[in-house]
């Protein structure tokens, strides 16, 4: 079946540190991959996505590359800020054809805290 | 646009009570879905809808009912609440029929406690 495994949290870093949050997946076919972010007290919002192998998604200084050979989609940022403190979710959407319905499969989430 | 709205924000129920979680979107999205979020488990799909009058089950549908009479609204009903349904519930929507690459837009969530 389809599944997503994320790096265990919580993760605590100092401001301006380099961030990596690991994400690996299991899926049949060619899924789309996503990173969603949840700020305290809010719903999830899309951070970035990639829809095919070797695509790189990027937004707000975050990047992730769709690696089919290692079934990974690791999230990276070169210099984190206090405002990046949130919970980050890796997710996949299995390919379901033109008339398919998106059934996101989420990882367990990684809580990130950035200290000034 | 208000986006995706959910009510209530927080609810306490006793075991066996029923209630409806409301979800509405003003973006004319065809696809809507409900997820529950539990500690250490990420979000899991409960039910989804690809348009008015069309619904289907997700990964964890037991104990929940849905209907979609309009494009805008997608309520989630708990017929007889159980402590295992204590969770945070998120509603989401997207533009098309939920193609794999589509971005889903999430509401702020409803926190439910069943005693």
> CA of A90: which chain B residue's CA is closest?
B42
Tens of pLDDT, residues B13-34: 999 999 999 999 999 998 899 9
The DSSP secondary-structure symbol of A67 reads B
Q: Which of B40, B92, B98 is closest, CB to CB, to A100?
A: B98
Judging contacts by C-beta atoms under 8 Å, the chain A residues touching residue B109 are 42-43
- Chain A positions in Cβ-Cβ contact with residue B98 (cut-off 8 Å): 100-103
Mean pLDDT, residues A2-10: 89
pLDDT in tens, B34-92: 999 998 888 999 999 988 999 999 999 999 999 999 999 999 999 999 999 999 999 99
Contact between A14 and A114 under an 8 Å Cβ cutoff? The reply is yes
Mean pLDDT lowest for which of A33-42, A63-72, B3-12?
A33-42
For the cut 70, the answer to whether the pLDDT of residue A16 exceeds it is: yes
Query: Taking the CA atoms of chain B, what radius of gyration do you get in angstroms?
Result: 13
List the beta bridge partners of residue B45. B35
Q: Is B9 on the interface with A (CB under 8 A)?
A: no
Select from A4, A98, A103 the Cβ nearest to the Cβ of B58.
A103
CB spacing of B106 vs A103 below 8 angstroms: no
User: Mean pLDDT over residues A17-26, rounded?
Assistant: 97
Q: What is the pLDDT of residue B103?
A: 81
Confidence of residue A95 (pLDDT cuts 50, 70, 90): low
CA distance A24 to chain B (A): 14
Q: Which residue has the higher pLDDT, A105 or B99?
A: A105
Interface A-B: count of C-beta contacts within 8 A = 77
User: In the 8-state DSSP scheme, what is residue B73?
Assistant: B
Contacts of A103 in chain B (CB under 8 A): 45, 48, 58-59, 98
Task: Flag whether pLDDT at A62 surpasses 90.
Answer: yes
Question: Is B58:B42 a contact under the CB 8 Å cutoff?
Answer: no
Query: What is the rounded average pLDDT of the residues A5-23?
Result: 94
Q: Which residue of B has its CA nearest to A35?
A: B103
Q: Do A108 and B41 lie within an 8 Å CB cutoff? A: yes
Query: Distance between CA atoms of A68 and A100, rounded to whole angstroms?
Result: 22
Q: Give the pLDDT of residue B66.
A: 97
Predicted pLDDT at B23: 98
Residue B101 has pLDDT above 80, yes or no: no
pLDDT tens column, A29-53: 788 899 999 998 888 999 999 988 9
- Top pLDDT among A59 and B100 is at A59
A91 vs B contacts (CB less than 8 Å): 42-43
Q: How far is A33 from B100, CA to CA, in rounded Å?
A: 9
**Which positions in chain A touch B97 (Cβ < 8 Å)?**
99-101
């Amino acid at each position: 079946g389809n599944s997503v495994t994320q790096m265990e949290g919580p993760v605590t870093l100092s401001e301006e540190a380099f961030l990596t949050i690991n994400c690996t997946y299991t899926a049949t076919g060619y899924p789309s991959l996503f990173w969603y972010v949840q700020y305290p007290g809010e719903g999830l919002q899309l951070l970035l996505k990639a829809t095919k192998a070797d695509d790189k998604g990027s937004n707000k200084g975050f990047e992730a590359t769709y690696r089919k050979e290692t079934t990974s989609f690791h999230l990276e940022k070169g210099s984190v800020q206090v405002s990046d403190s949130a919970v980050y979710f890796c997710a996949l959407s299995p390919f379901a054809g033109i008339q398919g319905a998106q059934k996101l499969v989420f990882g367990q989430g990684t809580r990130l805290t950035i200290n000034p | 646009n208000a986006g995706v709205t959910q009510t209530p924000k927080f609810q306490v129920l006793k075991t066996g009570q029923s209630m409806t979680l409301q979800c509405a979107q003003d973006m004319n999205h065809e696809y809507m879905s409900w997820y529950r979020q539990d500690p250490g488990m990420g979000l899991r799909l409960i039910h989804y809808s690809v348009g008015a009058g069309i619904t289907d089950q997700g990964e964890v549908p037991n104990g929940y009912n849905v209907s979609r009479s309009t494009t805008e609204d997608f309520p989630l009903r708990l017929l007889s609440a159980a402590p295992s349904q204590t969770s945070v519930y998120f509603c989401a929507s997207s533009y098309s029929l939920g193609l794999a690459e589509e971005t889903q837009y999430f509401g702020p969530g409803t926190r439910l406690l069943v005693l």
